[in-house]
Structure 1
């Protein structure tokens, strides 16, 4: 059976929204139909417009709580075969610690929050808040943590789609699971995160995918296009090149999470060290340099290892840091090792022999950059393309 298109697809969408009792979203969709068909179906557009005018818009904000059951009373959808829940639920308080974000990200996400908090003002101008966004970035840069923080700031739960449960072994069940999870999330104000969306929203031109996956892409396209203003739909991906191009056009906002810069790395080290910062603080500049190019999750994992070793008394802090720097130096190019050697000479009392052993830079080279006891900082390296 072919996919519904045009007027038939629009009719099906209206029925679906109406059966879900999403009154305000029916109004929004109907207003869109008026604009869409004003040229090709003027009589239909005029009739729908008359219906809209006959029933004035009901005041309220997109995140206004409705008369739906409390979260604890709602039964999460499950896969019929495995009985696994299709959604993971997080309910964090509004004072949840904010994620480590660049100034650009803070501005973008700050506006998204303000749009939600001032939805009435936007509605008065005929506007709606951003309904969907896709987070793009390498693993460990904070995409999921940011989704949790956003939900906490908006005072709504975060649902995360569990792909392991959605992708059923039964043919045709995956599509039903996806629909069930999405329909559940639309019943009340929430943030829904489709994590690793590239796993189910690959390019439909990819001949290696089975037909069922291509049908899942179609489902997601429809949902993103008509996601209700009462909720916020987020997606996250580590592989944007795999995603169907049509999906990109559906999202209202694309948010890029880049690898942390030096200032963010230093702040992350301080945060992850916690009360042990007093012990490791003297190494902060060296650790910031050594963690260049690492994700927040990589930094946290290594810092936690430091703290455990110190807590157990197995290794002194100096030995921990020196061993770590020595391992990191192996991944640096020659100029990077020289930069590290200069920094060690500037920030520590290590001998040139020790610095040479740690970085692999000869003592002659170290002396060249620290001639007469003064530090000669290497010229700034060209930024890698």
Structure 2
């Protein structure tokens, strides 16, 4: 017999399905149907079978007269725009409809992103008051701080896949075709009310005063400005850049919102360490502070790589988690700035694993500073005196 939670979950899925259908978002309806078929295939095989039949029927009807009567064609995902010569897709797709965790971000930034999502979810409510939701946003920050993951999460919250402009294909060797490729992507995204990400937009929207660029690329910037201006509020246009100083100033005014992604601070790093430790969190619980100190200054992607390497080493070498953490901290100490090395020295002292003298040698932080913040060393002795 079904539980209340199971019934509530089915009702929630049906409401989402009805909402997408009422908006005429045919592609989103089919994507959600495909997700529900996978979701209920084991627990509710009869429901999954019926949904699968509906999905197949919708694909057939999408090419028939019914679509023409509605006055708008909703292309299948398989008909993504392609480069005419290479036949490679101009769009990369991130399908996170099965769910993904929220990005690790400072509180204020995450609140802004949540607000952007809510505007999209309550677009009809805003429209009743003559207000349009945010149509576009540019995500600015160094590599590895969560820009693309945030874009994926936004799309996930809106029940859509994230479409990413594939610059390697769009930037044709035949410069005249680059503009055509770009327009094909925008036209397709508008038709499907998509969440579209222009990643590394500085590569195609450089300052038109840049003398190193040929005239064709400068005309491409103008084309991008026109496309951003014409973007409808039925979809969401995102852009991301690591080099804001390269972008044409006119482009900044076209985006409704600018979201700044800074290097992660201690609180975000601590949350990242806990998340990336995954199933091994309990084994490393007492060492999270030391791990956080050892990854100061890293991007989130670098933190993930370091933590995954630590976990692999611990399993394959059957090593003690405490010793593995200490080894990782010591190895990374020379790469830290002075404040981060001081914090690392304090955490090493608090762990009681090394003498203050040894920590001073490894980090360059004086014993007096270590003692001031971490208290007396539980390991006595400063080592042999010089000349002894």
| TM-score bracket, shorter-length normalisation | 0.7 to 0.9
Q: 1:65 aligns with which of 4, 19, 25?
A: 25
Are 1:282 and 2:282 an aligned pair? no
Aligned match of 1:186: 190
Cα 1:115–1:315, aligned 2, differ >3 Å: closer, same or farther?
Answer: same
**How far apart are the structure 2 equivalents of 1:197 and 1:356?**
45
CA RMSD of aligned residues (A): 2.4
Per-residue deviation, 1:373? 5.3
Cα 1:61–1:261, aligned 2, differ >3 Å: closer, same or farther?
Answer: farther
Per-residue deviation, 1:72? 4.3
**How far apart are the structure 1 equivalents of 2:133 and 2:300?**
30
Per-residue deviation, 1:144? 0.6
After the TM superposition, which of the residue ranges 60-69 and 324-333 deviates more from structure 2?
A: 60-69
Runs (5+) with no aligned partner, structure 2: 1-19, 27-66, 379-388
TM-score (normalizing by structure 2): 0.75
Deviations 1:46-97 (A, max 9, x none): xxxxxxxxxxxxxx99965255666645411111222221001122226321
Kept in 2, the 8 Å contact 1:133–1:235? The answer is: yes
Aligned match of 1:160: 164
Aligned match of 2:313: 309
Per-residue deviation, 1:200? 0.3
Aligned match of 1:195: 199
Aligned match of 1:221: 225
Aligned match of 1:76: 80
Q: 2:139 aligns with which of 135, 159, 180?
A: 135
Aligned match of 1:324: 328
Aligned match of 1:352: 356
Per-residue deviation, 1:297? 0.3
Per-residue deviation, 1:349? 3.1
**How far apart are the structure 1 equivalents of 2:22 and 2:239?**
20
Deviations 1:262-310 (A, max 9, x none): 1111000000000111222221111111212211101000001011112
Cα 1:366–1:251, aligned 2, differ >3 Å: closer, same or farther?
Answer: closer
**How far apart are the structure 2 equivalents of 1:326 and 1:73?**
49
Deviations 1:112-160 (A, max 9, x none): 1111121112111111111100000110011111111111111122110
The SS at the match of 1:168 is coil
Per-residue deviation, 1:232? 0.3
**How far apart are the structure 2 equivalents of 1:91 and 1:368?**
51
Deviations 1:305-363 (A, max 9, x none): 01111221265433432232223221335554344222211233322343234323455
Aligned match of 1:108: 112
TM-score (normalizing by structure 1): 0.76
Cα 1:370–1:300, aligned 2, differ >3 Å: closer, same or farther?
Answer: closer
**How far apart are the structure 2 equivalents of 1:177 and 1:335?**
48
